[in-house]
């Protein structure tokens, strides 16, 4: 300014001060910088497409230029779009001395509905982006070649009862190279949803195109009656897209055995196509519990309640334990839904129940579960013992009628406890006779003082001999009592140690009895009784370490054919209810007995040989042959 004024006035120009000259040199650059930064501030939104199918995704880029700080408000997008992924980057550049900076947000969006969807103006500080719109069309409007991924769902029972599980199936259909797929679980308010079984793979033709199918099943357990809406799962899939060129990370991925990126999200820039598939929600009408039904609600397609005894047949004796096993098998419920069995009250016996064992039986269809309750009965008195019935009411969902599973009551006779023969009573010495001191005879317990005979005495020396005789009788009687008491104290511990003779039968007798029970059970094709007899034989053969099941018994026998027969019997006894009846009806008891009895006798022969060998053990100090002229050791 000063230079211009001096030139117009015609004066001689003067050089400015050094400090001012420096400021004047940088002033134009500072003005340009301020103008460029102020003019570059703004918010710009951009979409990668304007039309897409419902199962596809689109990318929204929001660029903030200048000194805008903070984070945009994304809540306006949640009404029509689902934000699948979000990333942010920053950039700064200097061009011809001008500094520019910007930030960019990249959002991957999945539409929630059909139609024209609007992306409203997004706010960052005081800046607003321009609104945008996108058209979402039906997936069916796209050709089959453009739909490489599909999602199907189905419900097996559209009108279940409350607490009645039903199967909800999800089928994923895809064509081409599926790089990555994530399937979210279905959701339902008012119901529990649990995974059910293993995934199954198959091939399927759809609209004339071959698809690979993966089927996944869930169990839905409604917890209240009324309408139930099951929100379908969402499939997030990545497919290879050859039109986008080679994968820049493929060489690195292959060097790690194609496992490097299997658990990573899609890397920006990697070739591939991301698709989002959703199925239609399913409506289910849940029926309530019938009016007037009891408090125990058990909706199922079949219920079986059986009992087993160990030993079989049971023998009841006072003080001797007997094991009763109750087995409940239910089809249509899970193990967590099975009720606790009530064995009833016993009058005249002690009952010791163990915790019940429940487990689910696998299978692709309806759920099935089994519960086993083991009870130990110890009769406390002889005579008649009434074992009450076990009742379990349930609702048959096949016939839609109430049913009752019953184990009928039974009356058994309890034998008295085995007692030892009474010892002979002691013989008392006759009154008035002094027993011999060298061989005393114990007197009865109630004799506590000697009895002196009635003696008529007269005055003077004539009464002296009778007094001495009475004193001798009294001392002899006291000596007899003392000796009897001393012998009784020595014999008392032996009587306490072994008050009763042993009641356990010898091992050979128990083995023979168990084999006889096995033959009887196989003759009538009773698989449960055969199992009980085999376990009783195992307890008699190995008293200290009896086998806990048929599988361990097969291992102990060391017979491949017998082990195979025992495994087949185990599978038959624990088969599902619908298969168990036909399997037990066709069970070959005679063939089973022919194989097992031979193996059991071989095991018994081995045990007998071992006992005889133990009896023939050499003495600790073997005798040496004597030589002529030798003298025996003193």
Residue 338 belongs to a domain with what CATH number? 2.60.40
Domain stop point among 390, 414, 438: 414
CA distance 26 to 145: 64
Residue 445 lies in a domain: no
Residue 87 tokens read as: 């990333």
Residues 166 and 203 in one domain: yes
Residues 260 and 355 in one domain: no
* pLDDT tens profile 297-319: 999 999 999 999 998 889 999 98
Structural domain that includes position 325? 299-414
Domain stop point among 372, 387, 414: 414
Q: Name every residue whose Cβ is closer than 8 Å to that of residue 404 and which is 6 or more positions away in sequence.
A: 391, 392, 393, 394
Residues 161 and 105 in one domain: no
Average pLDDT, the chain: 76
DSSP 8-state assignment for residue 243: G
Q: 């960052």: which residue's tokens?
A: 124
Residues 100 and 195 in one domain: no
Q: Could you give the angle at the alpha carbon of 463 between the alpha carbons of 460 and 466, nearest 5°?
A: 165
Q: How far, CA to CA in Å, does 126 sit from each of 88, 123, 181, 267?
A: 20, 7, 41, 33
Domain total in the chain: 4
Residue 207 lies in a domain: yes
Q: 């500094």: which residue's tokens?
A: 99
* pLDDT tens profile 548-585: 788 889 888 888 888 888 988 888 887 766 666 666 77
CB 37 within 8 A of CB 76: no
Q: Name every residue whose Cβ is closer than 8 Å to that of residue 494 and which is 6 or more positions away in sequence.
A: none
Residues 100 and 199 in one domain: no
Residue 485 lies in a domain: no
CA distance 520 to 597: 12
Residue 479 tokens read as: 């000596």
CB 119 within 8 A of CB 300: no
* pLDDT tens profile 162-182: 999 999 999 999 887 778 888
Element at 184 (helix H, strand E): none
Residue 203 lies in a domain: yes
Residue 464 lies in a domain: no
Residues 125 and 227 in one domain: no
Domain stop point among 286, 307, 324: 286
Residues 241 and 278 in one domain: yes
* pLDDT tens profile 247-288: 555 554 555 544 444 444 444 444 567 888 888 899 999 999
Residues 316 and 256 in one domain: no
Residue 291 lies in a domain: no
Residues 130 and 149 in one domain: no
CB 45 within 8 A of CB 61: yes
Q: Are strands 115-119 and 132-137 parallel, antiparallel or unpaired?
A: antiparallel
DSSP annotation string for 427-460:
PPPPTT-PPPSSS--PPPTT--S--PPP----SS
Residues 177 and 231 in one domain: yes
Residue 633 lies in a domain: no
Residues 266 and 212 in one domain: yes
CA distance 481 to 252: 107
CB neighbours of residue 106 within 10 Å: 16
* pLDDT tens profile 614-627: 545 455 445 544 44
Residues 167 and 216 in one domain: yes
| Closest CA relative to residue 572, chosen from 536, 526, 533, 527 | 527
Residue 280 lies in a domain: yes
């Amino acid at each position: 300014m000063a230079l211009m004024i001096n030139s117009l006035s015609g004066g001689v120009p003067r050089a400015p001060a050094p400090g001012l000259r420096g400021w004047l040199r940088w002033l134009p650059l500072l003005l340009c910088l301020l103008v460029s930064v102020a003019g570059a501030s703004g918010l710009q939104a951009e979409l990668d497409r304007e039309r897409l199918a419902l199962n596809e995704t689109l990318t929204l880029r929001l660029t903030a230029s200048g000194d805008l700080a903070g984070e945009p408000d994304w809540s306006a997008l949640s009404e029509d779009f689902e934000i699948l992924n979000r990333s942010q980057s920053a950039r700064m550049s200097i061009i011809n001395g001008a500094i520019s900076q910007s930030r960019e947000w990249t959002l991957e969006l999945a539409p929630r509905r059909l139609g024209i969807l609007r992306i409203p103006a997004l706010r960052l500080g005081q800046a607003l982006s321009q609104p945008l719109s996108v058209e979402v069309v039906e997936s069916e409007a796209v050709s089959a070649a453009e739909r490489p991924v599909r999602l199907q769902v189905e419900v097996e029972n559209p009108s279940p009862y409350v607490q009645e599980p039903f199967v909800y199936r999800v089928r994923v259909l895809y064509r081409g190279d599926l790089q990555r797929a994530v399937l979210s679980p279905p959701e339902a308010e008012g119901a529990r949803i649990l995974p059910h079984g293993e995934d199954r793979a198959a091939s399927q033709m759809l609209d004339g195109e071959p698809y690979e199918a993966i089927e996944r099943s869930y169990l839905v357990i409604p917890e209240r009656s009324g309408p139930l809406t099951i929100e379908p799962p969402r499939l997030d899939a990545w497919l290879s897209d050859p039109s986008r060129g080679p994968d820049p990370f493929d060489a690195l991925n292959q060097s790690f055995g194609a496992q490097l990126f299997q658990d990573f999200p899609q890397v920006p820039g990697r070739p591939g196509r991301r698709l989002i598939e959703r199925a239609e929600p399913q409506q289910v009408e849940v029926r309530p519990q019938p009016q007037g039904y009891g408090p125990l609600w058990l909706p199922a397609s079949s219920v079986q309640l059986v009992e087993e005894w160990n030993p079989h047949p049971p023998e009841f004796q006072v003080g001797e334990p007997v094991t009763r096993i109750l087995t409940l098998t239910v089809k249509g419920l899970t193990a967590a839904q099975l009720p606790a069995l009530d064995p009833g009250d016993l009058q005249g016996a002690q009952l010791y129940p163990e915790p019940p064992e429940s487990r689910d039986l696998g299978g692709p269809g309806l759920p099935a579960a089994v519960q086993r309750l083991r009870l130990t009965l110890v009769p406390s008195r002889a005579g008649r013992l009434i074992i009450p019935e076990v009742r379990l009411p349930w609702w048959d969902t096949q016939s839609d009628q109430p049913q009752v599973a019953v184990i009928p009551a039974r009356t058994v006779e309890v034998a008295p406890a085995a007692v030892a023969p009474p010892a002979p009573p002691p013989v008392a010495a006759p009154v008035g006779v002094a027993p011999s001191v060298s061989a005393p005879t114990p007197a009865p317990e109630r004799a506590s003082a000697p009895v002196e005979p009635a003696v008529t005495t007269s005055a003077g020396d004539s009464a002296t001999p009778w007094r001495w005789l009475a004193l001798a009788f009294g001392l002899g009687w006291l000596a007899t009592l003392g000796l009897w008491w001393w012998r009784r104290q020595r014999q008392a511990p032996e009587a306490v140690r072994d008050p009763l003779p042993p009641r356990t039968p010898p091992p050979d007798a128990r083995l023979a009895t168990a084999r006889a029970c096995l033959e009887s059970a196989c003759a009538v094709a009773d698989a449960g009784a055969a199992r009980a007899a085999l376990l009783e034989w195992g307890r008699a053969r190995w008293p200290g370490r009896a086998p806990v099941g048929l599988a361990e018994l097969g291992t102990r026998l060391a017979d491949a054919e017998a082990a195979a027969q025992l495994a087949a019997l185990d599978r038959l006894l624990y088969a599902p209810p619908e298969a168990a009846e036909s399997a037990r009806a066709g069970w070959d008891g005679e063939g089973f007995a022919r194989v097992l009895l031979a193996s059991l006798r071989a095991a018994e022969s081995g045990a007998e040989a071992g006992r005889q060998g133990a009896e023939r053990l050499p003495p600790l100090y073997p005798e040496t042959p004597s030589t002529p002229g030798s003298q025996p050791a003193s």
